[in-house]
Amino acid sequence: MKRDIGLFIEDISGGIKNIGDFTRGLNKEKFSKDTLRQSAVIRQLEIIGEAVKNIPSSFREKHPKIPWKDIAGLRDILSHAYFGVNMDRVWNIVKKDLPTLKREIEKIK
């Protein structure tokens, strides 16, 4: 059974919320030492990326402010570059990119 686009949008929104919960009260230094939270954040980013990959291009084209291809590409990097994940990059995504993505996703919902 094919999932509705709205469910994928909810997956993205839920992943963003979870990452916010996982990183609340952390600074970069604490995050860099907390492998449990790093793993949790990476998993949520993978879920967000997988949801993006399942959204049809016709829908994505209607929302050009969202960097769909970059998000999907990040998912591939996180899933396949096991030992090469740059945690500084992950932290920057969490703090700089996710708030913007959250705002854009909220406009869709």
Give me the active site residues, please: 75, 80
Cα–Cα distance between 77 and 82 in angstroms, integer? 8
**Amino acid occupying residue 10:** E
Cα-Cα end-to-end distance for the chain: 22
* 54 close to 8: Cβ distance less than 8 angstroms: yes
